[in-house]
């Protein structure tokens, strides 16, 4: 808007800090993770992870295909729907007064399982000739 140039040093610093945000959030979440509390909420965690990784994709990908999305645009929709839950939801849950056990469990499950489910969705879309 003002077209004021940002010095290269400042741009590099901001870029480095932004690149560390997610790993630092995962480390902080892992440090506060209590496995006993997590196992107490395993059913809601698995349900939320299944909805995030499988349910939303199976519901909205056919709609996107019917709307004419193909190739790169369809992959972008798949990534938005079926990727892991972000660390920011853990921070939001903590700020809203929750322990964060459920959100941290869902983040860990979706982070681990999304590698397999995204690969599966890509295989299905490729097999159907959508990619």
Domain boundaries, the chain: 41-127
What is the rounded CA–CA span in Å between residue 60 and residue 70?
Answer: 14
pLDDT of residue 37: 85
Confidence of residue 67 (pLDDT cuts 50, 70, 90): very high
C-alpha separations of 6 from 2, 15, 16, 21 in Å: 11, 12, 15, 21
Q: Which range is most confident: 8-17, 19-28, 64-73?
A: 64-73
pLDDT of residue 86: 84
What is the rounded CA–CA span in Å between residue 104 and residue 93?
Answer: 9
In this prediction the pTM is: 0.79
Q: What confidence tens digit (pLDDT) does each residue in 28-50 have?
A: 888 888 888 888 889 999 999 99
């Amino acid at each position: 808007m003002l077209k004021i140039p940002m010095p290269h040093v400042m741009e590099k610093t901001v870029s480095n800090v932004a690149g560390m945000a997610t790993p630092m959030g995962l480390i902080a979440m892992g440090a506060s993770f209590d496995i006993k509390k997590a196992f107490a909420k395993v059913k809601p965690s698995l349900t939320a992870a299944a909805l995030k990784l499988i349910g939303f994709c199976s519901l909205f990908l056919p709609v996107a295909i019917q709307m004419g999305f193909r190739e790169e645009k369809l992959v972008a929709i798949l990534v938005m729907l079926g990727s892991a839950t972000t660390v920011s939801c853990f921070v939001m849950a903590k700020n809203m007064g929750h322990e964060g056990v459920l959100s941290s469990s869902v983040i860990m499950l979706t982070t681990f399982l999304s590698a397999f489910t995204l690969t599966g969705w890509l295989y299905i879309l490729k097999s159907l000739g959508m990619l």
